[in-house]
Structure 1
Amino acid sequence: MKNNQKKAWLFLLPAIISVTIFSIWPIIRAFIISFQGGPLICLNFNGIENYKYIFADTDFWNSLTNTAIYAFMTVPIALAIALALAWFVFSKIRHQSFFEAMFFMPYVTSTIATGIVFRYIFNGKYGLLDFVLKMLHLPAPDWLDDPSMSLISLIIFGIWSSLAFNIVILIGALRNIDPNYYVLADMYGANESEKFWRITIPQLFPTLAFLLTVNLIGAFKVYTQVFALFNGSAGQGNSAITSVFYIYNKFQVANTPGVAMAATVCLFLFILFITCLQRKLMKRVNS
């Protein structure tokens, strides 16, 4: 109703102001600073020099490559494991609420705390993982100090840390599936595999699309896991450096906010492109 538009805008005004101040303005400000040089208290316009710098910086390209590898490895593997665990708990376990609480505990636990635990697990001298591998007479690599293993260790940690949220959301989505679908499937003699692929997966598709989008965006912004796992660094020789870690170093350590904001703008555009591409693909699959 036109008579209620003014009242509606009045109620929306606090939210609009908050989104503008804390979301839209920082994006605009970052774009402006990306064309400026010098320290944060004395910025001056320098054109596209910051973009020239990051495009010629091997650390920037390594961080972008590591971030892409991390995202495209962690997200699908974590979703597949979470789906399998959620389906198992939903279909085979009676006391589901207990297991939901157990699965959700890592999500509410500090990433720094879990990173410290994983740092001890991955330790090459007294780590639990290498101890188990040696007992099984398998190669026990140096997960944290070997540059070739740093990204793999980060991916393993990322998969584990993203399972909790995915499992709880998927269990909730499984509960919302109409049980009559399975009753009809049993009447027509469908087996468990057919019910899973022909009923469960199509019904979970909107939830999977949501989780895929959220997890991809979160994976491209990974920073805390790197900081926690490698004790404030990005692995030996920056072997596990990610885009956000690169931005942090340029802004906080090197005191070059213009370079950091230029990398931020590039990361923003990259995430926007991947997200739009992913949504188009999901729409085609859904149709």
Structure 2
Amino acid sequence: MKKLFRYRAENSPRGWLFLAPALIFIAIFNVTPLIRTFVIAFQKGTLNNPEFAGISNFQRVLADPVFHKAIRNTALYAFIVVPAGMVISLFIAMSIHKRMKLKKVWESIFFLPYLTSMIAIGIVFRFLFNQDYGLINYLLGLFGVSNINWLNSPEMSMTTVIIFGIWMGLAFNIIILLTGLRNIDDSYYKVADMFGATKREQFFRITLPQLIPTITFLLLMNFISAFKIYGQVFSLFNGRPGVANSATTGVFYIFTEFYTNNNYGKGMAAAVILFVVILIFTLIQRLIMKKISK
């Protein structure tokens, strides 16, 4: 009697053959650099003549006040930009989905920033935030607010980056949330209307629960992206981490130590620490969202 075999894709040699180009690409450009990062983190000297340094690089990083400031700025950015951006994106997505005419046109308009170069947008925002002739200060002046030094004041550097970060994240969030809203069956709302449910009740008892998987995905992606912030700071402050390093972040610290100061081991040790922080936070966030969605 012949033994019955159930087909499994992972046991198909032909399947692995088709996956080989992608796996080779991932191994070369993702896995290898990650392994190399961990190796360099335990070395000192140059890249050509490395010496084993034990955990000294990690001790130097953890004792560096600039790194502490970078982590604080990164955490501040992540815990303000992601929730604020999610609330604003959800409001805009629901407005487009329910109320606005020419929905496709509005979707295209809101999605354009996602397709535009961050450096180009950063240059535009530098003009908008300019203390003397920027549009933002002009609009605030209409309400009697004096000119704010957005770009050249240590106290305002992170506020400027946070505003820019919220705006940059809206496009992707809105498109994904619109997809989630379209997947909600209209019959839920019809039944709710029949029983006299208010719009507020429909939102909290139908819309929000149905969007939990979409919101979970966006929170996960947005928090990971926020902890890796670099381009926003670079484009806003013309390649610098703000005045007196006031807007330095975790990735900017790694870049400065590795490429500018040539402290290769220290830079990679900071990268490993940041990797562990992101990993731990991601796992905690997933556990919390699983409990919420049950």
TM-score range relative to shorter protein: over 0.9
Q: For residues 95 and 191 of structure 1, what CA distance do their matches in structure 2 show?
A: 26
Match of 1:118?
125
Aligned residues: 287
Q: How far does the alpha carbon of each residue in 1:116-152 deviate from its partner, in whole angstroms, 9 at most, with x for none?
A: 1111111112211112212210243211111011001
Matched, 1:158 2:165: yes
Match of 1:90?
97
Q: For residues 15 and 202 of structure 1, what CA distance do their matches in structure 2 show?
A: 36
**Matched AA of 2:168:** S
Q: For residues 87 and 39 of structure 1, what CA distance do their matches in structure 2 show?
A: 54
Match of 1:12?
19
Q: Secondary structure at the match of 1:147?
A: coil
Match of 2:189?
182
Decide whether the 8 Å contact of 2:86 with 2:173 is kept in 1.
yes
Instruction: Give the structure-1-normalised TM-score.
Output: 0.97
Q: For residues 22 and 118 of structure 2, what CA distance do their matches in structure 1 show?
A: 29
**Matched AA of 1:176:** N
| Larger deviation, residues 50-59 vs 36-45 | 36-45
Matched, 1:199 2:206: yes
Match of 1:273?
280
| Larger deviation, residues 266-275 vs 37-46 | 37-46
Q: For residues 159 and 146 of structure 2, what CA distance do their matches in structure 1 show?
A: 15
Q: Secondary structure at the match of 2:151?
A: coil
Matched, 1:136 2:172: no
Q: For residues 28 and 57 of structure 1, what CA distance do their matches in structure 2 show?
A: 24
Q: For residues 83 and 132 of structure 1, what CA distance do their matches in structure 2 show?
A: 26
Match of 1:54?
61
- Give the superposition deviation at 1:192: 1.1
The verdict on how the C-alpha distance between 1:3 and 1:51 changes in structure 2, with shifts beyond 3 A counting, is closer
Q: For residues 18 and 184 of structure 1, what CA distance do their matches in structure 2 show?
A: 51
**Matched AA of 1:43:** P
Show structure 2 runs of 5+ residues with no match: 1-5
Q: For residues 6 and 189 of structure 1, what CA distance do their matches in structure 2 show?
A: 55
Instruction: Give the structure-2-normalised TM-score.
Output: 0.94
Identity fraction in percent? 48
Match of 2:291?
284
**Matched AA of 1:285:** I
Q: Secondary structure at the match of 2:131?
A: coil
Match of 1:74?
81
Q: For residues 133 and 3 of structure 1, what CA distance do their matches in structure 2 show?
A: 63
- Superposed CA RMSD: 1.3
Q: Secondary structure at the match of 1:269?
A: helix
Q: For residues 234 and 113 of structure 2, what CA distance do their matches in structure 1 show?
A: 18
| Larger deviation, residues 53-62 vs 135-144 | 135-144
Q: How far does the alpha carbon of each residue in 1:133-186 deviate from its partner, in whole angstroms, 9 at most, with x for none?
A: 122102432111110110010000000000000001111111111111111111
- Give the superposition deviation at 1:83: 0.1
Match of 2:217?
210
- Give the superposition deviation at 1:256: 1.4
Decide whether the 8 Å contact of 2:132 with 2:147 is kept in 1.
no
Q: For residues 201 and 6 of structure 1, what CA distance do their matches in structure 2 show?
A: 41
Q: Secondary structure at the match of 1:145?
A: coil
Matched, 1:258 2:274: no
- Give the superposition deviation at 1:2: 5.8
Q: For residues 164 and 141 of structure 2, what CA distance do their matches in structure 1 show?
A: 21
- Give the superposition deviation at 1:13: 3.1
